[in-house]
Structures are given as C-alpha cells and as structure tokens.
Amino acid sequence: MGWLMRSLTRPVMTLALALLGPLAFQPSCGDSTRPPPCAGETLGGHCWEYIGPSGVVVTAVAEAEGTSYAGTFDGVLRYNRASGAWVQTGLAGKTITSITALPSGRPLWVTVAPHAPETTSAVAYLSSDGGRTWQARDGGLSSQVDYHGVGISFVVDPWDLRRLYLGQGNGLARSTDSGFTWTYVYPSSADRGIDILALASSSANSRRVWAGGLTAVQTAFVLRSDDRGDTWSVFRPRGFAEDAVVAVTADPRNGDRAFAGMWRAVWVTDDGGTSWRAVVATRDAGFVRALTYSELRLIAVADEGALGLYASDEGGTIWDSLPVPRLASGGTAAASTPDGTLFIATRDGVWRLRLRDRSGS
C-alpha cells in the first residue's frame, strides 16, 4: 500500500480514470465541415487551446454536451464557456480521483479520496443535474478511515449503464443497480493487499472488463473478466516487474487487444492478456497516466515533468510523439468526445486539443 499512500500525497496523483469508459469507446465518423479556426496555438497541425483553471492541479477531467468538468484537490469545477470561468459545483474539500460523464451528460459520476488518513468520506457520488447537487452512492463499499477505502478508478459498462466498477486500495467492487449497492468481486472480500489503479470496459465484447494495478509486494498486474466481473484472470507478464499499471484501455474494434500504461511505457496484448509487449518506451516519459481513443486514434498521456503526448493510428504498433505547448505541465488525465476533441488535464489546468485529421486538414 505504500505506493498508493505516496501517490495520494504527491502533487500529481496516479489516476486511472473512468474516462476510459463510455465516451472513450464511441468513435465518430467525424464532421465533413471544415473545423473552426484555431483560437489557441497550432503545433504540427493540431490546435491547442488552454482553458484553465490557471494554477490548479487538475486530477480528473470530463466533457459532456458541451460542458467541461475538472476534478481537483478541492472538489469539482464546471467550465462556463460564455464567461471563460470555472465555477465550483460541490464536493469542496474532497480530492477527486475520477469523473465520468455518460454520453447523455447525465448522470455525472465522481470518485473521491479524503484529504487525510483519519478522514471518513463517501467514495462515489452521483449528480443528475450537471454537478449542482450530489448524492453519495457507495452502499456496501469499504468505509475505512484511511486511504484503503478511497475510490481510485471507476468505469461504467457501456452495454449496461447501471453496471459500475470501482477500483480501491482494497480491491475491486461492482454495482449492478447504479451504485445503490456494491459487492467486492476481486478479491471476494476487501483485502488491503491490492491496489486497483485502472479500469476499462470493452465496446467490442459486452462481457469483458479490464483492470490493472499494484500488489502489496510492488508488482504490477492486469486483470481480465469475461463474465462482467464474476470471475477474473490475473496476468503478471515478465517485464512488468516492480511497476504499476496506472492506465488501461481496450481496442474498440478488437476484443482481444488491450493497452496498459506504466512507468515510461505502453504495453499491448493482442491475445486477451496471455502475452504482452512494450510498444512505447521513452526514457523521460514518466508514468503513462491516461490512455484514450480520439475517434479511432489511440492517445497516451504521460507525466514527464512537462506534458508528454503520444498517438497511434496503427492499432498501437506505431506511435508518434506529438508536439505540445511549451508551457503545458505534466499530464494527469484525459477525456475524448465523439467528435474527436481531447481534453487533457495537467498540473496546471486543462488543455483542449483538436487533432489534425488523417487527411492533414
């Protein structure tokens, strides 16, 4: 558990966001109209726009129906496009570890961590009005007065929006009734010897779920379920070693292909987890903290002091390092929208990124 404790007290938290959930697996064919002029900085044909909030470490990000949400160490902020300002929407005093906005924009899910080990806090919250009010939804979840019970990772099943998965510092829990009740599914009872740092559902296989994390002996692992979380297969490939899987995502076209973000690398499996290989290995990349799809382009967000951004159009076999703004700080999370726009959370606010399409326009 030491890795989790350190990550919660560092300026940048290790997040495995639910942003790898429904929105990330809704590839769009795009719009045939010409994109609007770039209001920010164009680098390599890609349009970057900084939307803030300035000076704020953003721990999670989501976008739904034109509204941006940012998780911070002090609650959830909502972006007002008309004024260009961020407003507090609630949960002040709580560290937000993930935000998930469903395709309809409602409901909005967040998971939280207490500010101090002795603090008791609900783990998961639901808002049905854009963050104006919140309801705790963590019946049956562990409510330890320490960091073991925090919500670290979260994903909604895109095939059944009532089915939720929540990773904690004591195992993996599942709800089949929109969070009213939860059951631990790995291990079968709360066990403080495992951190579930990353979760992803599959839009290519309605019964498959992926998870990743760190064991008590500081060994990385990946989990796969083929029955919506009833049972799990465990993979500890050689090469993971003393590392942590902090991000996972599944290929929306190939149910056997999944990706794991780790220290200075992205790993891929093409056979459902039996074998893995590193496909991105950058000496200065730090942790690959987020993996998401922008349309059918896979994006990896890394924290290398400054922001590191990598993209693959070739099923994760060939990667390009994308130019990023000079002032962009280390990446912490990412979200994508059906039109292919990316929202990248950093140690200093959020960047909105419109990637050049494959034709070069």
Give the pLDDT of residue 82: 84
| 86 and 78 Cβ atoms separated by less than 8 Å | yes
Q: Which of 78-92, 97-111, 248-262 comes out lowest in average pLDDT?
A: 97-111
What is the number of structural domains in the chain? 1
Give the largest CA-CA distance in the chain: 54
| 252 and 203 Cβ atoms separated by less than 8 Å | yes
309 part of a folded domain: yes
**Which pLDDT tens digit goes with each residue over 139-166?**
877 554 344 556 689 999 999 999 999 9
Number of H helices, E strands in the chain: 1, 29
Q: How far apart are CA 135 and CA 181, in angstroms?
A: 13
Mean pLDDT of 271-281: 91
Domain holding 288: CATH number? 2.130.10.10
Q: How far apart are CA 309 and CA 314, in angstroms?
A: 16
| 308 and 301 Cβ atoms separated by less than 8 Å | yes
145 part of a folded domain: yes
DSSP strands (E only) in 176-250: 183-186, 194-201, 209-215, 220-225, 233-235, 247-250
Give the pLDDT of residue 11: 38
Looking at residue 299, its amino acid is I
280 part of a folded domain: yes
361 part of a folded domain: no
Identify the residue with better confidence: 126 or 35: 126
The torsion angles phi and psi of 6, rounded to 5 degrees, stand at -65, -40
Q: How far apart are CA 72 and CA 57, in angstroms?
A: 6
Mean pLDDT of 66-71: 93
360 part of a folded domain: no
Nearest alpha carbon to residue 184 among 136, 226, 149: 149
Give the pLDDT of residue 69: 96
Nearest alpha carbon to residue 140 among 75, 197, 185: 185
18 part of a folded domain: yes
Q: Is the pLDDT of residue 2 over 50?
A: no
Mean pLDDT of 172-180: 94
Q: Which of 246-255, 303-312, 351-360 comes out lowest in average pLDDT?
A: 351-360
Give the confidence band of 105 by pLDDT, cuts at 50, 70, 90. Answer: low
The per-residue pLDDT of the chain, averaged, comes to: 83
Mean pLDDT of 250-277: 94
Distances (CA, A) of 202 to 51, 251, 256, 337: 31, 7, 10, 17
Identify the residue with better confidence: 269 or 112: 269
Nearest alpha carbon to residue 201 among 14, 336, 342, 24: 24
pTM, entire model? 0.86
Give the pLDDT of residue 158: 92
| Residue 278 belongs to domain spanning | 2-354
In the Cβ-directed half-sphere of 14, how many Cα atoms lie within 13 Å?
28
Quickly list H helices, the chain. 2-9
